[in-house]
Amino acid sequence: MGIFEKLKAEFIDIIEWLDPSNDTMLYRFPRYQNEIKYGAKLVVRESQVAVFVSEGQIADIFQPGTYTLETKNIPILTTIKGWKYGFHSPFKAEIYFASTRNFTDRKWGTKNPVMMRDPEFGPVRIRAFGNYTVRVEDAATLIKEIAGTDAHFTTDEITDQLRNIIITRLADLLAESKIPVIDMAAQYNELSEMVHDKIQDEFNEYGLELTKFLIENISFPPEVEEAIDKRSSMGVIGNLNNYMQYQAANSLEAAAKNPSGSAGEGIGMGMGFAMASQMAQGMFQQTQPQGQPTGGPPPVPGAKQYYVVVNGQQAGPFNAFTLQQMVQQKTLTPDTLVWAQGMGQWAKASEVREMAGLFQQGPPPPPL
């Protein structure tokens, strides 16, 4: 410091701090050789406290207000210095200003998924995110436990430690709560309050107060969420056998409206959906107890269904509507082998009286 700055500092008699940042928790007021003029004015604004440190010891703490620094309002510092009869010369002391306002929107989140045992899904990994609000409650404790002699202490210097406390206590609480993960979205308020109460005392050990704690999201890993989505889709579909038959009929109808498609594409499409329908029907029937109804109505009386041989493979059974669509796509021809209940063996479609009408392209000739 030059001679001009030194002389200027000797005449400065107002000590105050205007915080230009939004993350400073503690700030040491700069003075030349820490000398403070006797009778200087100390201005402590709302949302601040001022802490005097002398010879490594925390002395007086000033709440918001304006003070004239004399022996009567710095009693602890006066005792430390041994000023029994007052003084009028400059004295040395470090002055720290602590911001007591709320530091909002502090983010927290799990770096890695947390393993827990869910009562519905078994062992699962979950992630959690949220935010919290913190403020300096005891500036002296903050200086002694965390900041030390740091002249400019910010929230970033303690964020990692606070996040580790949050994640550790949250994981323990979630495991003890035994709430299914899929139901936790309805418990965010309750869980937030429980975590807040659990970690408040640990924040107090650093001179901080946790004024707000919020859980924003608890989620599964992407692959588990995908499996849950598929499970939900199955519940929406309901009867899988009916759904597959409906899809097969729609696909054949769409193919009939596309004359540019080749016969091979039509055959492949018909075969694919027919096989899917058969597999769905088989799986559905296996899930039903023997001797119990499958849950769907029986076939309409008199509505015969036929099995069809396509490319050497059995497909079906199909109703009259689906068979008509297959004829239009040339998947079913007069020479295609078909079979239905009551037939002794497979026969060509043209030889089955009920199916002969499917191949007529026009009205029959008039009688002579």
Share of the chain above pLDDT 90, in %: 32
Q: What is the mean pLDDT of residues 164-192?
A: 88
Q: How confident is the model at residue 361 (pLDDT cuts 50, 70, 90)?
A: low
Q: What is the mean pLDDT of residues 39-66?
A: 92
Domain with CATH 3.30.479.30 in the chain: 103-224
Instruction: For the chain, give the number of residues.
Output: 368
pLDDT at 258 (0 to 100): 63
Does residue 210 have a pLDDT over 60? yes
pLDDT at 257 (0 to 100): 64
- Give the CA angle between residues 288, 291, 292 to the nearest 5°: 50
CB 96 within 8 A of CB 53: yes
Question: Could you tell me the maximum CA-CA distance found in the chain, to the nearest angstrom?
Answer: 144
CATH of 103-224, one of 3.30.479.30, 3.30.1490.20, 3.40.50.12160, 3.40.50.300: 3.30.479.30
**Ramachandran region of residue 60, left (φ > 0), alpha (ψ -120 to 50) or beta?**
beta
Q: What is the mean pLDDT of residues 251-278?
A: 56
Q: What is the mean pLDDT of residues 4-10?
A: 49
What type of residue sits at position 346? W
Q: How confident is the model at residue 216 (pLDDT cuts 50, 70, 90)?
A: very high
Q: What is the mean pLDDT of residues 96-105?
A: 94
Does residue 298 have a pLDDT over 60? no
Closest CA to 53 of 32, 72, 36: 36
Does residue 293 have a pLDDT over 50? no
pTM of the model: 0.59
Min mean pLDDT across 3-7, 62-66, 167-171, 299-303 is at: 3-7
Which residue carries 């599964």 as its tokens? 220
Question: Across the chain, what does the average pLDDT equal?
Answer: 78
Min mean pLDDT across 147-151, 195-199, 341-345 is at: 341-345
Min mean pLDDT across 115-129, 247-261, 298-312, 339-353 is at: 247-261
Closest CA to 35 of 51, 16, 12: 12
Please tell me which residue, 260 or 231, carries the higher pLDDT value: 231
Min mean pLDDT across 141-155, 240-254, 293-307 is at: 293-307
Q: What is the mean pLDDT of residues 167-184?
A: 86
Does residue 51 have a pLDDT over 80? yes
